[in-house]
Amino acid sequence: MTEAIREVFHKDHPSLVEGDYAEHPNSWLTFGAQAGDKWAIHILDLYRGGRLAFSKYDDQDDAEPVFERSRQVTEQEALRLWRLLAAGDIESLMKEDWT
């Protein structure tokens, strides 16, 4: 997780050029939990510049999220929030200050 987040915040990978960064502007973490015969999905999607989007889908096949919230984060905040999602701590994520 640390390296994936670092690569979003820093454009210093020796084998990548500016076009590579433009083509791959984000990194995300997904957590799924079985909900009846479906899989509820929560996603934290981190974009260059530090915008982190938090989304929920009632089913992994849904095209539109139930909600999507976002905010600006630092590299350290992104890692903290990703760790919450990896642990399945959706309740703590919901309590965060999203806009």
Domain ranges of the chain: 2-95
pLDDT classification of 21: cutoffs 50, 70, 90: low
Could you tell me whether strands 51-57 and 26-35 are parallel, antiparallel, or unpaired per DSSP bridges? unpaired
* Nearest-angstrom CA–CA distance, 95 and 88: 14
pLDDT tens digits for range 9-18: 887 766 666 6
pTM of the predicted model as reported, rounded to 2 decimal places: 0.87
Long-range pairs for 82-87: beta carbons < 8 A, 24 or more residues apart: 82/1, 82/5, 82/29, 82/44, 82/46, 83/1, 85/29, 85/31, 85/42, 85/44, 86/1, 86/29, 86/31
* Nearest-angstrom CA–CA distance, 33 and 89: 12
pLDDT classification of 20: cutoffs 50, 70, 90: low
pLDDT exceeds 80 at position 5: yes
pLDDT tens digits for range 42-87: 999 999 999 999 999 999 889 999 999 999 999 999 999 999 999 9
